[in-house]
Structure 1
């Protein structure tokens, strides 16, 4: 399945989640998806994104690592369903939105948490989601700079 559809499915699932365990499962799913997208971009994305994409992979992996691993059937793991990145810009725009929603959901869980362990998991996961989103925004900036440079080169070709 393409990245944009998986991100949309994650956003819907996160919005529908109600209880803390369900929300934490959706947060974990979103971080795993961000990790998979980062990995794909690092391997086959535009060359100017590869370093930041590796960073996204690491940060999203940290976001998964600070949370308790949910018991999810492999068939339900959205990251495992990723087959195509599609348009990098669209994927990154949507992923940035998802990561922002993850942060908001985690703030809600942290405020409602009855135990210190859940609270601190949320704090660390908020940090990872925020840093992951920063990487996404940097990749979007690099794509815009690339497009701007290509536009200048097309308008003003080098003398030959």
Structure 2
């Protein structure tokens, strides 16, 4: 097994464990996500629902926000791996795509796995022509 496939299987297993922690009483669709850093460290996230559905948070955003809260250098994120408990492979939602475009390199691999397979993208292929703001040169006068 290649190193990539071995790392992907490890990330998928961690995403499955993260999904088990999800709070999803409304959809009953527990999703896990794992950020793999270039040094091999990982940060997990799961979806957390709320009765006011707009206040829910997806697994991908939970993992990214956790990385930010932990002070992780986001340029060190090598890959995002998602697990959905289904036979079909699902792509990240639009909100997660925009958040990934905000914080990750356009070429960061995003891999969605399920019981039925996997699909690979990059951040830029998931959200072509993403909205960006040049915060470095922003001046509030």
Higher strand share: 2
Larger Rg: 1
Higher helix share: 1
Query: Which structure ranks higher in relative contact order (CA pairs < 8 Å, sequence separation ≥ 6)?
Result: 1
